[in-house]
């Protein structure tokens, strides 16, 4: 229909109601017009022949539809598609729910909780699953159903992990695709039947390697075991080790276990190259993960670390961990309580004079202890003999131990899941510290502030005497020290070792009203701290999207004799403490109940052990009033 416009110049008969009639017709058309349905995505399009499909007369009916409740659902099976289709559904309740549901079976429960059990298997136990189902869906299930559902979910997860381990080469390809220029090595041994049996796994992320070389102090930590190859040495271009520091926890250990890797790989008398395979941990400050041994937290630890370091990296500075040296000494001299302060004061000596003084104190305390300390070659773990320029005063391996302590949960997971857990932890750890470093407003890191705060009391009380040659003489406690602010040196050697002004240099800085931050080395500046956590790991995709490397399947090596179907208990997962090591400390109870005898009222025994001989009870005890049973005392 077209609109006819009235032309005032037009001569002849004109329909004066035409315009109103057209507007009326337009309004009627708008009322009758219906808009097209919106375009929906991810939905199957309807076909004209769907309703023509015949169905069986047999129905599945839930809810009897009687007078008690109107809720009902009808479903029929289609003969051509061999599938059920809901024909009628009435979602109207007129009864009170009682928590029963016949359709809520074990597979459905397992499907609902499989993801939660994968993340926290120890948290989602049958009791917890039953509680969540009752609170969230108001359905009552039995404890046996939840236990069976959890078992089925664990079976699904185990099969999933086995498939991922078989695609270990695809996982390595995903790491290389997400993290360019990284290095991943999957080494397998061919079995007698031609299968690729897993031997070891090596990964070096390029972003972490570059960051460590550019913005980290040259420190390498080793925690208890080694990797028999030279990949790490090549990736970090350690050459002969000159200018680097290595801290290890022990110099001679014994074989703890060797599941999945035969002991013949490490023959006796073999010259070990510099190699590390932390069982499920990191190496040094980078947090690099070099993992082996699937599904079992065991590792092969061999002796000869000192010889291996001298062979591969002859110019590297090798420090021993004082904590482990003290632990070994405590096993022999556990009754001597002064060993701990004497040994640690010796390790904290910043110059040779202090070293000799503390060594003499140990000799005067006990000659046997002195001889035992000298056998450990204390010059390899005392600060006074550390090389100048590394600005690392650590005398223990806690930097590695602390990170390994955060991996306890990951160690219990299967191999690929363990690697992924550690990788995610590294991503989150770097991201959090990146935010912390970029929001910090100071010139130096918070560590410098705490360090100088501990020295302020001594620095403020010291006496400063300036010299004409630009140096200063600092007097405190009867000692004199020479400080050179231009050369960043002090005769106590503490400034040169730590990289942060010592109490003597700090006193000169206060005397001249200078800024202490200007005399701190570059490693403790906020700019370097931010640079250290700028480039992290790149996120990766899940197993569904791993690239196909067309490599052979990787199989788990057979277990050694005596370890078939052997599961680790909770006690075995915990760290084994030494005989003389302090046990786990428990919080003291605020109140405790004191036992009293029901016959005589005494507090040293009960009625079972009451002495029947009344003559043994003194008259003074009989004259005292009996205390009330179950009295409480405050401790």
What integer pLDDT is reported at residue 392 of this predicted model? Answer: 87
pLDDT digits (tens, 9 = 90+) for 269-293: 333 333 333 332 333 322 333 232 3
Q: What percentage of the chain has pLDDT greater than the value 90?
A: 40
Instruction: With a cut of 70, say whether residue 64 has pLDDT above it.
Output: no
Instruction: Please provide the distance, in angstroms rounded to a whole number, between the alpha carbons at the two ends of the chain.
Output: 100
What integer pLDDT is reported at residue 240 of this predicted model? Answer: 54
Task: Name the packing angle between helices 367-375 and 352-365 (round to 10°).
Answer: 130
What integer pLDDT is reported at residue 324 of this predicted model? Answer: 83
What integer pLDDT is reported at residue 539 of this predicted model? Answer: 94
Instruction: With a cut of 80, say whether residue 592 has pLDDT above it.
Output: no
What integer pLDDT is reported at residue 280 of this predicted model? Answer: 29
Q: Rounded distance, CA 504 to CA 340, Å?
A: 28
Instruction: With a cut of 70, say whether residue 15 has pLDDT above it.
Output: no
Instruction: With a cut of 80, say whether residue 541 has pLDDT above it.
Output: yes
Instruction: With a cut of 60, say whether residue 93 has pLDDT above it.
Output: yes
What integer pLDDT is reported at residue 49 of this predicted model? Answer: 58
Q: How confident is the model at residue 573 (pLDDT cuts 50, 70, 90)?
A: low
Backbone angles phi and psi of 136, in degrees to 5 = -90, -40
User: Which pairs with CB-CB distance under 8 Å and at least 24 residues apart come from 109-117?
Assistant: 109/133, 109/141, 109/145, 109/146, 109/149, 110/149, 110/150, 110/152, 110/153, 110/156, 111/153, 113/149, 113/150, 113/153, 114/153, 114/156, 114/157, 117/150, 117/153, 117/154, 117/157
48 vs 451, more confident: 451
Q: What percentage of the chain has pLDDT greater than the value 70?
A: 67
Residue range 562-589: mean pLDDT, rounded: 62
Average pLDDT for the chain:
76
What integer pLDDT is reported at residue 275 of this predicted model? Answer: 35
Q: How confident is the model at residue 565 (pLDDT cuts 50, 70, 90)?
A: low
What integer pLDDT is reported at residue 186 of this predicted model? Answer: 92
Structure tokens at 537: 């790991």
CB of 530 closer than 8 Å to CB of 437 = yes
126 vs 220, more confident: 126
**Number of residues written out for the chain:** 635
What integer pLDDT is reported at residue 296 of this predicted model? Answer: 30
Backbone angles phi and psi of 490, in degrees to 5 = -145, 145
Q: Which residues contact 335 (CB under 8 A, 6 or more apart)?
A: none
Q: How confident is the model at residue 86 (pLDDT cuts 50, 70, 90)?
A: confident
pLDDT digits (tens, 9 = 90+) for 221-278: 765 443 334 445 555 555 555 555 555 554 443 322 333 332 232 333 333 333 333 3
216-220, 298-302, 469-473, 542-546: lowest mean pLDDT where? 298-302
Residue range 97-102: mean pLDDT, rounded: 82
What integer pLDDT is reported at residue 228 of this predicted model? Answer: 36
CB of 327 closer than 8 Å to CB of 582 = no
Q: How confident is the model at residue 367 (pLDDT cuts 50, 70, 90)?
A: very high
Residue range 347-360: mean pLDDT, rounded: 94
What integer pLDDT is reported at residue 274 of this predicted model? Answer: 34
Cα–Cα–Cα angle for 150, 155, 159, rounded to 5 degrees: 150
What integer pLDDT is reported at residue 358 of this predicted model? Answer: 95
What integer pLDDT is reported at residue 314 of this predicted model? Answer: 77
Q: Are strands 196-204 and 554-555 parallel, antiparallel or unpaired?
A: parallel
273 vs 482, more confident: 482
The enclosing H or E element of 633 equals: strand 632-634
Q: Rounded distance, CA 492 to CA 499, Å?
A: 13
What integer pLDDT is reported at residue 503 of this predicted model? Answer: 94
What integer pLDDT is reported at residue 241 of this predicted model? Answer: 53
202 vs 174, more confident: 174
The pTM score is 0.69
Q: How confident is the model at residue 433 (pLDDT cuts 50, 70, 90)?
A: very high
Q: How confident is the model at residue 559 (pLDDT cuts 50, 70, 90)?
A: confident
Instruction: With a cut of 70, say whether residue 171 has pLDDT above it.
Output: yes
- Of 577, 552, 626, which Cα lies nearest the Cα of 196? 552
- Of 411, 410, 408, 415, which Cα lies nearest the Cα of 158? 415
Instruction: With a cut of 90, say whether residue 155 has pLDDT above it.
Output: yes
pLDDT digits (tens, 9 = 90+) for 104-146: 899 999 999 999 999 888 899 999 999 999 999 989 999 999 9
Residue range 471-496: mean pLDDT, rounded: 93
Supply the DSSP string of 376-435, one letter for each residue. T-GGGT-GGGSPTTS-----S-HHHHHHHHTTHHHHTS-HHHHHHHHHHHHHHHHHHHHH
Domain ranges of the chain: 64-90, 106-161, 444-524
Instruction: With a cut of 70, say whether residue 604 has pLDDT above it.
Output: yes
Backbone angles phi and psi of 245, in degrees to 5 = -120, 140
What integer pLDDT is reported at residue 621 of this predicted model? Answer: 46
What integer pLDDT is reported at residue 71 of this predicted model? Answer: 78
């Amino acid at each position: 229909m077209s609109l006819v416009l009235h032309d005032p110049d037009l001569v002849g008969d004109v329909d004066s109601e035409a315009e109103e009639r057209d507007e009326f017709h337009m309004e009627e058309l708008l009322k009758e017009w219906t808009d097209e349905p919106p375009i929906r995505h991810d939905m199957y399009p309807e076909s004209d022949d769907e309703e023509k499909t015949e169905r069986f007369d047999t129905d599945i009916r839930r809810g009897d539809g009687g007078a008690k409740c109107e809720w009902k659902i009808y479903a029929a099976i289609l003969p051509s598609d061999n599938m059920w289709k809901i024909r009628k559904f009435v979602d109207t309740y007129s009864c009170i729910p009682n928590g029963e549901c016949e359709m809520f079976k074990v597979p459905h429960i397992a499907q609902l909780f499989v993801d939660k059990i994968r993340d926290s298997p120890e948290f989602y136990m049958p009791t917890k699953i039953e509680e969540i189902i009752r609170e969230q869906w108001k359905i009552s299930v039995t404890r046996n159903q939840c236990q069976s559902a959890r078992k089925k979910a664990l079976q699904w997860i185990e099969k999933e992990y086995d498939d991922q381990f078989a695609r270990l080469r695809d996982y390595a390809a995903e790491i290389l695709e997400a993290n360019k220029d990284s290095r991943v090595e999957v080494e397998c041994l061919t079995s007698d039947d031609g299968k690729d049996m897993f031997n070891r796994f090596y990964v070096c992320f390029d972003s972490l390697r570059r960051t460590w070389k550019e913005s980290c102090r040259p420190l390498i930590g080793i925690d208890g075991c080694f990797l028999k190859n030279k990949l790490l040495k090549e990736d970090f271009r350690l050459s002969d080790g000159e200018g680097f520091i290595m801290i290890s926890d022990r110099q001679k250990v014994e074989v703890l276990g060797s599941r999945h890797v035969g002991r013949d790989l490490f023959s006796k008398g073999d010259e070990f190259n510099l190699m590390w395979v932390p069982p499920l941990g990191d190496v040094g400050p980078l947090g690099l993960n070099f993992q082996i041994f699937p599904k079992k937290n065991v590792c092969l630890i061999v002796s000869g670390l000192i010889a291996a370091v001298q062979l591969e990296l002859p110019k590297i500075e090798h420090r021993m961990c004082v904590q482990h040296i003290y632990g070994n000494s405590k096993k022999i001299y556990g009754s001597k309580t002064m060993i701990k302060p004497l040994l640690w004061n010796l390790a904290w000596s910043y110059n040779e004079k202090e070293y000799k003084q503390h060594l003499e104190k140990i000799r005067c305390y006990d000659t046997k202890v002195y001889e035992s300390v000298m056998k450990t070659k204390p010059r390899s773990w005392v600060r006074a003999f550390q090389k100048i320029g590394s600005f690392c005063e650590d005398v223990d391996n806690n930097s590695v131990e602390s990170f390994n302590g955060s991996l306890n949960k990951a160690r219990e997971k299967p191999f690929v899941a363990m690697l992924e857990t550690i990788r995610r932890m590294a991503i989150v750890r770097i991201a959090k510290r990146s935010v912390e470093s970029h929001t910090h407003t100071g010139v130096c890191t918070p560590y410098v502030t705490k360090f100088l705060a501990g020295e302020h009391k001594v620095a403020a009380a010291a006496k400063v005497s300036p010299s004409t040659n630009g140096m200063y003489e600092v007097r405190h406690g009867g000692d004199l020290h020479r400080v050179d602010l231009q050369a960043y040196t002090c005769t106590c050697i503490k400034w040169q070792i730590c990289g942060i002004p010592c109490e003597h240099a700090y006193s000169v800085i206060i005397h001249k009203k200078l800024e202490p931050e200007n005399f701190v080395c570059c490693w403790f500046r906020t700019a370097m701290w931010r640079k250290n956590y700028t480039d992290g790991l790149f996120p990766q995709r899940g197993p569904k999207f791993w690239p196909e490397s067309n490599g052979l399947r990787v199989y788990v090596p057979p277990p050694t004799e005596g370890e078939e179907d052997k599961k680790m208990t909770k006690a075995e997962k915990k760290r084994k403490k030494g005989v003389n090591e302090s046990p786990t400390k428990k919080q003291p109870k605020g109140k405790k109940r004191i036992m009293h005898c029901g016959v005589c009222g005494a507090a040293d025994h009960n009625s079972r052990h009451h002495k029947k001989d009344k003559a043994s009870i003194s008259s003074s005890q009989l004259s005292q009033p009996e205390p009330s049973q179950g009295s409480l005392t405050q401790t």
